[in-house]
Structure 1
């Protein structure tokens, strides 16, 4: 089998080649980042200077290829939206790829997602759509503070603002120049990541993780507690199966929800059709997505909860993400982080660690032309000495 990954966000792409390779795929990549040139799990890498060139090359590789790819994956939201809107030749549409022409309104749209979830009877935080600041204040007063104001298309924690009063909303008036915003009631409780893999709308894999620690600036998680499937409530699986069918989704989906503190259940507020930075970490506690993906492509096997599993043999595991930890935490092996550095793609991981430790200083002290020249030189060495 053959897979193509496309994207401009190396933080969301670097783990994909190893995961797909274990799933039985030969992997090609079209990207604006040179990082994947270092991956031993990528067969062919095309690095472009601009996102526009990347999209053009991806279109060419998919539409003109003699043997179609078995799976095409956009690895960031902007790339997904652009590729979903392309005019693909009949019969040459990318495999297992959501397309807007199929009526999928929630692609890179928080407003679209909230509307679909509500229409399909899936629990989501109460919300309103506000075209301007006046309407947002009225909506927030109706829903009750605190509320989130969210730009319709944003990611990485950007474009999301917590508002405790009318003055907080007024200070965001200029944000409405970019379009309507989602006004969403804040739900108190435990944040969960239930990111999943769907194929033909059916649930193939998901990871159940409680968020224990996040970066204060962006909300991106650093520390998670993962639970094996045997420990997960059966209705969580049912909800995710219903979510996949409601969203008509294919591929990796970054799913977030809030387990309400008042016991009213889970409120789903995020379902981006792309992998996240934790896409390959569930294998550390024995829930390898690669095994389940390989079985689906071989036999069509979907995910079902094993009711005969012995709970006494199951233990949650706390896992830290090495790329988001402070340097001193890496040095002292805080949370046992060294156990969770995936060395299988050694050169990629070394490049990531190098950038994590060195690049903040070079951005401060080294001129931009010199930094780019060094990057080009490193890329040339990777190609010359694979």
Structure 2
């Protein structure tokens, strides 16, 4: 039986909650390595829970020790969130066993892409992957140098950030200094040109550099601004984007999950790679509602026969609108969006199927959180 271990540090990443269902639906035995309060164990789709410390310092030693002792018991081990990936990447050094078992890349020379925006930008340059022009900021750079090498507006990005945190929009060179003053640490900052175009979110599964499964989407709703996390999307397939993903997987040597973002510039007919986060996200389990179910990709990996073929570009009338229940309801509460509430009340486009009634354990935790949020806001 194919056996996987899913690991996550801390208890605050709700994006991991439904990831075990992807592997369970594929027929895997699913073990989770996390703390008692972790969202990763707030589901009924895992078989075994290995208790882990909830502080990072102890977590990394416990996970490394567990993997060394049980490496032959698992076909696949995945680190599910940005903090766990960064923590273990920094910790394991040149330990080849842990590199092979824990890191979601097979070309170790590309290790810098893990949890680093600078690393991703550098790798894109190496492999001729289209990405916005960028500068790795240092405090000795003058404003004149920045203005000469980048066209404004730009994004100021902290090297390690997630869900839109640590990203600032700077419309002009005059605004840049004010944005920079808000950053506590001036080390490892990326200045990236802001590309105007269509935001495209991608969830992908890779294995040994090969693209196994993917779904892409346009964004309908953000929690706050366009740098925050999303609550509603429209999903489809795009043959041209699939080619971009294949090149990305082969170039970086990706082997695992990918939460990826592109911006499509229509006039130039170019996909600009913006983010390559090699971890899970909250949208991945919703592939079960789509033609290209990520669980089917896991089955291909289990069988050793990866098809590597994907549907052609999805017709407009076959695109699927999906919303994450708790995220979108919290957005509606925060923004006093009555129309948004009515979508859920009247089962707009089948929204009720996205409510977590299919998992009583997850349902209880989500509604407890919403209840607390509601009365906090009220």
1:241-274 CA-to-partner distances (Å, cap 9, x unmatched) read: 0001111211001110001142431101100010
Please, which runs of 5 or more residues in structure 1 have no aligned partner? 366-386
Which region of structure 1 is more displaced relative to structure 2, 248-257 or 262-271?
Answer: 262-271
How much is the aligned-residue C-alpha RMSD, in angstroms? 2.7
1:40 is matched with: 44
CA distance 1:26–1:130, shift in 2 (3 Å): same
Q: TM-score, normalised by structure 1?
A: 0.84
1:255 is matched with: 260
How far apart are the structure 1 equivalents of 2:19 and 2:104? 18
Residue 160 of structure 1 pairs with residue 160 of structure 2 = no
- 1:65 maps to which of 54, 65, 70: 70
CA apart distance, 1:61 = 1.9
1:373 is matched with: none
CA apart distance, 1:87 = 4.8
SS at match of 2:259: strand
Residue 317 of structure 1 pairs with residue 320 of structure 2 = yes
1:97 is matched with: 103
Aligned length: 358
1:85-107 CA-to-partner distances (Å, cap 9, x unmatched) read: 31576546553633699222111
2:26 is matched with: 23
Which region of structure 1 is more displaced relative to structure 2, 12-21 or 296-305?
Answer: 296-305
SS at match of 1:267: strand
Map 1:1-386 → 2, pairs under 5 A: 1-7=2-8, 8=10, 9-32=12-35, 33-45=37-49, 46-65=51-70, 67-85=72-90, 86-87=92-93, 91=97, 93=99, 95=101, 97-98=103-104, 102-103=108-109, 104-132=111-139, 134-135=141-142, 138-174=145-181, 175=183, 177-217=185-225, 218-227=227-236, 229=237, 232=238, 234-306=239-311, 315-325=318-328, 326-327=332-333, 329-330=340-341, 333=344, 335=348, 336-359=350-373, 361=375
1:374 is matched with: none
CA contact (8 A) 1:5 1:73 kept: yes
CA contact (8 A) 1:127 1:185 kept: yes
How far apart are the structure 1 equivalents of 2:29 and 2:94? 23
CA contact (8 A) 1:198 1:251 kept: yes
Which region of structure 1 is more displaced relative to structure 2, 80-89 or 154-163?
Answer: 80-89
Q: TM-score, normalised by structure 2?
A: 0.85
CA contact (8 A) 2:17 2:42 kept: no
